[in-house]
Every structure is written in structure tokens, then in C-alpha cells.
Amino acid sequence: MSKHSGTLYSEMFDSKRAAPELRTFSECADQVRSSSVDIGPSLIEGRLLQRLRRSIGHLPIRLVLGRREELSPPPDTEAIATVSISDRRTLGKLLLSPEIAFGDGYTDGRIAVEGDLVQLIENFIRLTRAKPEGWWRKIVTGWLQRVQANTLTGSARNIHHHYDLTTDFYRLWLDSRLVYTCGYFPSPSASLEQAQLAKMDYVCRKLQLQPGESVVEAGCGWGALALHMAKNYGVKVKAFNISREQVLVAGELATKEGLSSQVEFIEDDYRNISGQYDVFASVGMLEHVGLENYRDLGQVIHRAIGDSGRGLLHFIGRNRPGTFSPWIRKRIFPGAYTPALREMLDLLEPWNFSVLDVENLRFHYEKTLEHWLTRFEASTDEITKMFGPEFVRAWRLYLAGSIAAFRVGTLQLFQVTFAGPSCRQIPWTRAHLCTEQAPAREELEWTHAMS
């Protein structure tokens, strides 16, 4: 009995010992169930593991429960990682809600991963994405939607949770300009610095900013894009953000760069945007707005730029509507939701805005996140001093999981350029995106005569 209870699975998959007909996990688990030998507590564990095995597909991992190795991949398959689960209770939670239990267990140390975390998650997503969503995930998602609703106060609380961590923390692993959104890598070998600069320029070019124009930005982070627009394109920018920490830092940067007369950073919700502008821009904010507020945001955009303005939305999206990772919502980004293009159109359709251009930069976000994770890992000692080891593990998991999601395609990154029905600032082709330097207005051809 003790022989079975301790090393049952590993023995079964030991190529020298295992009967050839018992090579798969489910066969192995069936063997446990049908065994007439009384194997005590490990019978329950066996059943739990069998169910876990089912819920994670054919994931080639080595699974350790307590100090006992409980499941190994078939002998001809190399394990991509060893996942150690400290106790049976954690195992039970994994069955009920794999994503949240894994996230929480990994964070507090009850689950440890030896091996490539990104590859582990990537494989997990690939093997399980076709499965219908579990009832528990639906309940948790519904509950999170209620408690994290993006009302004015709810949004403030949600944004504060993530973005008001000290800027010194973000300085450790973002680029020097503190751009916390997907970069644009002209080549995969470009540096993170180059990619973030290129992204900001790409956005300005897509918007065809002209000197003297006015821009309103919703969700401006530490202000890098607003400052870039003002400095390099001669526009005036009003940038809204409800993260106090970010707005403070952004304001200091504007003063330092002598751009205070051109750029105004305002600590306020996008719903309170007032005034008239030529251009609306929002990079990496739509994910925090919440589906239920898209029509309101559309109205805000129309109020700001009217029928003749133009705009750009840059956001993490999906191929089709679906629920956002409940663990990321619970621990990292409260109130977040990544929309399908169909859902985003709720913003544009009521105002007869025309979609001019959509570009999918999914692989650029995978690359951006790889840079961030590498830099994050290089700073874990400092981050541990700042927030403790649990924080480090949670954020490692968030960054690694995001890489995996973009790599697999669970997440996409859309840049959508749009214009109002009377907009006269529409370039004839995409020639303005092709040159090394941003071309002057006169160098381009336009759909409407120059005004």
C-alpha cells in the first residue's frame, strides 16, 4: 500500500517498470480508481489528480504533490516544467478554478514552477482553449464585474490599484520614457527604447498631426505620448488620467522639458473631458473602460472632436468576445476587459465614425512583454525589497501569462484609426506611414483639398 500511495504515478511511468498498456495519464488514473487495494488518502488524491489531468489536457509536465511526484508525462515526452503543489487543499482549488487557484497558489508559494513559466502557460492555453468555460469561472467573472464595476469611483479605485504603485517600481523595468503599452518594433531586433519611440511616432503619423492642432488624450500614463506629440508635432495636448501618481510625474516631466504651455495633464476621468479638439487619442485605456461604458466613451469622443475630427484607439483585444482572465482581474487589473473588434464598434457606430485603418500588433506586444519580463527579472531583488516576494511572483506570472496569451493569440493588439463623417484630414493612401521621416503635409496627397 505504501508503495502505491507514495510513488504510484512515477512508477507507472517509469519506462522500465510500467506495463506498456499503461502509458497515459488517464489509464493510470483509471488504474488507481479500479484498484482493489486500499490506498487510503492517496485514493482521493488520485481522483483529484485524475480530474486535474483531464482539466489541463495533455500538458507535458511533471506534477509533484507535497514531496511526492504524482504525475509525469509519458516516457517519450519531455516535461516542459515541474509544477509542485504543496497540499491537497491547493490541488482541490485548482480543480474548482484552475486559473485563479494557480495564480493565487503561485503568488503565495503553495505552487512552485521549475522550468519555463511562459512555455507552461502557453501550452496550457493551447490545450484548453477549445474547452467551454466552466461554471465557476462564469460565477467569478460575474462577481468581479459587480465588485469592480467601472463607475466614476470604481474606476478610480481600479486604476489606483495598479498605476499608483510608486513610479520607481515601473522605472526598474519599463523604458526610459515610461511607456506602459505595446511598442512598435520596426524590426524584431529593435530595442525597447526604439520600439516605444517608434510606437509614439507611428501613432502621431496615423493621426496625421499638424502643427497648431489640438489633441485630447484619454488615459495618458506618465505622459510620454502627449509630450512626444507636443515636442515633435507642434500640437497642444490635454491629457486625462485618474492615476494621481502618474499625473504628478507627467506634470513634472512637462515642466522639465519646457512643454507646460503645450501640454496639460489633468487628473480626471475620461467622462469629464470637456472642450473641442481636432484629434482624440487613447493608447491602452480602453481595456479599463468596461464594455458597459463604451457608448458613453463614444459620446465623449464625439463631444470632443465632433463630426470633423479624427482619432486613434490602441487597445488589447480579442478575436471574438470572451471573458478576461479572472485572476488578472482579481489581482492585477481590477475592472479590466479586452474587447473584440465587434464590441469596440459600439463606440464608433452611433456617431457614424468611419474606421479608416486597423492594424493588429499582437506580436509586437509579445515582444514588448518579453523585454519587460527580462528587465523585471533583473530587478527582482529590488522589487522584493519594495513589495515582498509574493508581489514579485504575482507580477512575474502576470507578465509571463501575458506573453503566452499574445503568443498563442488569446489576446490581440489593435490600433484603430477613425474619422468623423465630415473629416477632411484623410490621407489618400498609407504613404505617410512608409517613409523614414514623417512627411510634411504638402508632400502627401489627400482625399480633400487642403484647407
Residues that bind a second copy (CB under 8 A): 185-188, 319-321, 340-342, 345, 348-350, 352-360, 362-363, 409, 412, 414, 421, 426, 428-430, 433-434, 445, 447
- Minimum CB separation from a second copy for residue 451, in Å? 16
- Minimum CB separation from a second copy for residue 217, in Å? 23
- Minimum CB separation from a second copy for residue 173, in Å? 24
- Minimum CB separation from a second copy for residue 335, in Å? 24
- Minimum CB separation from a second copy for residue 186, in Å? 7
CA atoms within 13 A on the CB side of 61: 27
- Minimum CB separation from a second copy for residue 327, in Å? 22
Q: Are 254 and 265 in contact (CB under 8 A)?
A: yes
Residue whose C-alpha is closest to residue 227's, from 201, 192, 253, 208 = 253
- Minimum CB separation from a second copy for residue 419, in Å? 9
Residue whose C-alpha is closest to residue 169's, from 391, 397, 402, 329 = 391
Rounded Cα distance between 104 and 380, Å, is: 19
Q: Which is nearer to a second copy, 138 or 430 (CB)?
A: 430
Q: Which is nearer to a second copy, 43 or 408 (CB)?
A: 408
Q: Which is nearer to a second copy, 115 or 322 (CB)?
A: 322
In the chain, count of helices (H) and strands (E)? 18, 11
- Minimum CB separation from a second copy for residue 314, in Å? 14
Residue whose C-alpha is closest to residue 401's, from 123, 168, 132 = 123
- Minimum CB separation from a second copy for residue 440, in Å? 17
Distances (CA, A) of 115 to 60, 61, 70, 319, 366: 12, 10, 17, 30, 19
Give SS3 for 123: helix
Alpha carbon of residue 253 to chain centroid: 26
Q: Which long-range contacts (CB under 8 A, 24 or more apart) does 1-6 make?
A: 1/37, 1/38, 1/39, 1/40, 4/35, 4/37, 4/39, 4/42, 5/39, 5/40, 5/41, 5/42, 6/42, 6/68
- Minimum CB separation from a second copy for residue 339, in Å? 12
Q: Which is nearer to a second copy, 108 or 359 (CB)?
A: 359
Q: Which is nearer to a second copy, 274 or 429 (CB)?
A: 429
Q: Are 279 and 308 in contact (CB under 8 A)?
A: no
Q: Are 100 and 326 in contact (CB under 8 A)?
A: yes
Q: Which residue has the cell 490602441?
A: 314
Q: Three-state secondary structure along 203-271?
A: HHHHHCCCCCCEEEEECCCCCHHHHHHHHHHCCEEEEEECCHHHHHHHHHHHHHCCCCCCEEEEECCHH
Q: Which is nearer to a second copy, 22 or 426 (CB)?
A: 426
Q: Which is nearer to a second copy, 434 or 450 (CB)?
A: 434
Q: Which is nearer to a second copy, 54 or 342 (CB)?
A: 342
Q: Which is nearer to a second copy, 240 or 280 (CB)?
A: 280
Q: Which is nearer to a second copy, 333 or 414 (CB)?
A: 414
Return the number of other C-beta atoms located less than 10 Å from residue 301's C-beta.
Answer: 26
Residue whose C-alpha is closest to residue 108's, from 88, 83, 81, 90 = 90
